[in-house]
Amino acid sequence: MTDSLDTLLERPDLIRLAVRLAGHPGRTIELEGAMRYAAIALVLRPNDEGDSDLLMIKRAEAERDPWSGHVACPGGRMDPTDRDLEHTAIRETWEETGIDLSRDGRILGTLDDITPRTPTLPPIVIRPFVAVVRPDVSLVESLEVAEAFWVPMAAIRETASWGKGLVPIRGVGEREVDVFRHRQYTVWGLTHRALTQFVELLRE
């Protein structure tokens, strides 16, 4: 499947998504105190079934990373050299997965800003961007990423994939939280909240 990006963007499912994102621009949160901005990218890859797959990563184990080993979307903190948060999302996606959204993709819109609810996490405001890429992109994981993979949106829309689960929280121990499960992967916390927003947008 080697359709051009412009052709892909004419698909009915992506047109509907772009219209919904345009009609529901994400709510933004202003920085306070020591807060810093960060951005993540929910990257969709159209497939042959008229649907899409979502890019996810499993972060490498790292002693000083508060999200060590978590399943997430590519992203990270805003650098002083970033033009804006969209640039942050594009740069982080490239650095972590080898996908160049500026060349092979298109940013479609944003979801609501989110902030950590756990006081042990850094004080950040995360802006989730929704993007689409050409289906023939290749994944090249950075050293910060243990694994990068695609999750069918059909699996994400499956109600049975969502529920409660015990997860290890650093400095707290195991806690029961809302989770999304796909095969051996468990998504929770900030990524779960961004994914929940995205699914609710699709259901409207």
* Range with the poorest average pLDDT among 10-24, 27-41, 170-184: 170-184
Residue 21 lies in a domain: yes
pLDDT at 176: 93
C-alpha to C-alpha distance for 93 and 12, rounded to whole angstroms? 26
162, part of any domain: no
Average pLDDT over residues 135-157: 95
Confidence (pLDDT) at 66 = 67
- 177 domain-assigned: no
Kindly report the number of other CB atoms within 10 A of residue 78's CB atom.
21
Residue 143 lies in a domain: yes
Q: Across-strand partners of 97?
A: none
**Inside any domain, residue 194:** no
Confidence of residue 1 (pLDDT cuts 50, 70, 90): very low
3-state secondary structure 47-115: CCCCCEEEEEEEECCCCCCCCCCCEECCEEECCCCCCCHHHHHHHHHHHHHCCCHHHHEEEEEECCCEC
The tens digit of pLDDT for each residue in 86-118 reads 999 999 999 999 999 999 999 999 999 999 987
Rounded to a whole number of angstroms, the CA Rg of the chain reads 16
In a domain, 182, yes or no: no
pLDDT at residue 2 tops 60: no
Range of the domain at 75: 5-157
The CATH code of the domain that includes 49 is 3.90.79.10
**115 found inside a domain:** yes
Q: What is the phi/psi pair of residue 35, to 5°?
A: -60, 150
Higher pLDDT, 3 or 125: 125
Q: How many structural domains compose the chain?
A: 1
CA dist., res. 121 & res. 12, Å (int): 40
Give the predicted TM-score (pTM) of the model.
Answer: 0.93
Q: Return the pLDDT at 118.
A: 76
Please tell me whether residue 31 adopts helix, strand or coil conformation. Answer: coil
In a domain, 193, yes or no: no
